[in-house]
Amino acid sequence: MKSSDYLISTVKEAPNDAKIISHQLMIRAGLISKLASGLYSYLPIGLKVIQKVEKIIREEMNKSSALEVLMPVAQPAELWQESKRWEEYGPELLRFKDRHDRDFCLGPTHEEVITNIAKQYIRSYKQLPINFYQIQTKFRDEIRPRFGVMRSREFIMKDAYSFHMNEESLGETYKVMHQTYCNIFDRVGLDYRAVLADSGAIGGDSSHEFHVIAESGEDTICFSDSSDYAANLERAETFSQGEPNSPEEDLKEVETLGVKTIDDVCNLLKVDPQKSIKTLVVIGSDGSLVALVLRGDHELNEVKASKLKGIKQPLQMADEEEVVKKLGCNFGSIGVVNLDIPIFVDYAAACLSDFVCGANENDKHFIGVNWQRDTKQINPSDLRNVVAGDPSPDGQGNIEIKRGIEVGHIFQLGTKYSDSMNANVIGEDGRAVNMNMGCYGIGVNRIIAASIEQNHDEKGIIFPRAIAPFDLVIVPINYHKSSRVRGLADQLYLDCKEKNIDVLLDDRKERPGIMFADSELLGIPHRLVISDTHADNGKIEYKSRSHADKAEIDFKNSVSFILSKLV
């Protein structure tokens, strides 16, 4: 490609709303252009990067024997009503009516449509297992689109859906997809981790997220410092840390006038928050109140809490007015002494002794509280987020916490959709069986943003070769004045093209400084500079985007030199 026939759309300044480096650099390098909140156009160079990522995904998915399909973005409400998600999905699902007043939505995901296809075309166990995928536009009306294409409203996803006779077959394909995802992210050149994720009703190890490790990540990833254990924050488990010590203090009520937060209470009473508890009140499955108790310095894990027996799903915090009416005090004063509602106590809180809690009376707390002696029966449970330093659930080492960007998610769905949408096949014994299903997603645009988060410097993007918009840029000095430079540059350009090197010849009438800056901003991995001075000596200047040093190489060897860098 010659720059004069192309659009080099670099801009000087990133907009104010670009808070993270990948967003700033994608705008500055002219990969994307904002249309409206969460909606971006891909300019020629950005699209080229997208296509390189898609090619890798396609090749690896095809290798895994998945079959490519393409489903519509617009989907009829009836399918979503069948799966019950028309009501359940919430405002991320963009709904609209057609001219005949029929309800539709823009697909945020395609389980319903693919299940409908499977229902029509898969009749016998002999056709199973089968795995369909597409690379296609999704729309999610995200509450807070941000970070450019990292969390946009319209984005490209590779989504795949597999169908199986039984859980065993699902487990096998799940393993293949896990490996396929590793192959894809390895080829793209990402530093990533596969982590255990919450797997909803199916449980076990049936869901993994793939996270790119980056400071700007919105997710929290928990690792063991001494083993392979890795899980996201929702999923990472905690365990009982032993029995409480025997009581040493007497139960005593103290005044805590006007003090509301746990930190303020602990400051006033000069107690470490680790020796206090906080009591949250949620709604039980029958509508009554249920208490969830955590150590003062810990945070509730809502995913874990919503799975407790007898708790309403999704988790719903009690209304403060109702709490005042039924328990006799405001939120900040609830405690476990004489508390007459079911109580679930986090393992870490359950091993405290002589601790502080609210007295179920405003402006009063208890000190010297002890389980059993002062409280009714408690249900020790895993209720909290892990914190750095917690023992790893696999018994090896301690937990470390880092930020991650979720680029992929694989999930064993079981028969959730085939049950609700009646997607069955005839088994070997002639009986109809609802198919087991797996689903596997990759955020194509997010991969690019995540890669830039990991690969950049003060000059711009440093694309890994596999997804760089070009392999090589040729920068001729005085292309428009020196016929010798022009002749050499044009010949080199043709020679590179002949060898299938994805090359950009910067033949713009720009100052060298601008051409150098653009090639660095764009992150093109290799650069050759041709000038009259170099030509006098039969040389050309080479620079790699990822190294500071420049080298002079023989002009006549330059194509083979670049080819050797591209293997």
The residues of the shown chain that bind ligand ATP, judged by CB under 6 A, are 109, 140, 142, 151-152, 155, 157, 406-409, 441, 443, 445-446
Nearest C-alpha neighbor of 8 from the set 485, 542, 505, 566: 505
**Considering beta carbons, is residue 217 or 335 the nearer one to ligand ATP?**
217
Q: To the nearest whole angstrom, how small is the minimum distance from the Cβ of residue 436 to ligand ATP?
A: 19
Q: Rank residues 183 and 353 by Cβ distance to ligand ATP and give the closer one.
A: 183
Do residues 404 and 221 make contact, with C-beta atoms less than 8 angstroms apart? yes
Shortest separation between residue 539's beta carbon and ligand ATP, angstroms: 45
Report strand pairing: 472-476 vs 503-505: parallel
CB of 53 to ligand ATP, least distance (A): 12
> Which amino acid makes up residue 96?
F
**Which is nearer to ligand ATP, 30 or 108 (by Cβ)?**
108
Q: How far is the CB of 149 from ligand ATP (least distance, A)?
A: 6
Least distance from ligand ATP to the Cβ atom of residue 509, Å: 38
Are 409 and 207 in contact, with CB atoms under 8 Å apart? yes
- Cβ proximity to ligand ATP: between 54 and 502 the closer is 54
Pairing mode of beta strands 456-457, 460-461: antiparallel
Q: How far is the CB of 155 from ligand ATP (least distance, A)?
A: 4
- Distance, CA of 129 to CA of 175 (rounded, Å): 13
Q: How far is the CB of 47 from ligand ATP (least distance, A)?
A: 16
- Contact partners, residue 118, CB within 8 Å, separation at least 6: 130, 132, 161, 163, 418, 423, 435
Q: How many Å apart are CA 290 and CA 277, to the nearest integer? A: 16
Q: What would the two tokens of residue 146 be?
A: 């941000």
Decide: 398 and 132 in contact? Cβ < 8 Å.
no
Instruction: Give yes or no for a contact between 284 and 342, defined as CB atoms under 8 angstroms apart.
Output: yes
Q: How many Å apart are CA 473 and CA 541, to the nearest integer?
A: 12
Structure-block tokens of residue 336: 């476990």
- Cβ proximity to ligand ATP: between 190 and 352 the closer is 190
359 or 407: CB nearest ligand ATP: 407
Minimum CB distance to ligand ATP smaller for 218 or for 243: 218
> Considering the complex, what minimum distance in angstroms separates the CB of residue 179 from ligand ATP?
17
Q: Which residues pair with 375 in a beta bridge?
A: 337
Task: Determine the residue with CB nearest ligand ATP.
Answer: 443
**Measured from the CB atom, is 407 or 425 closer to ligand ATP?**
407
Burial of 492 (0-12, 13-18, 19+ CB in 10 A): buried
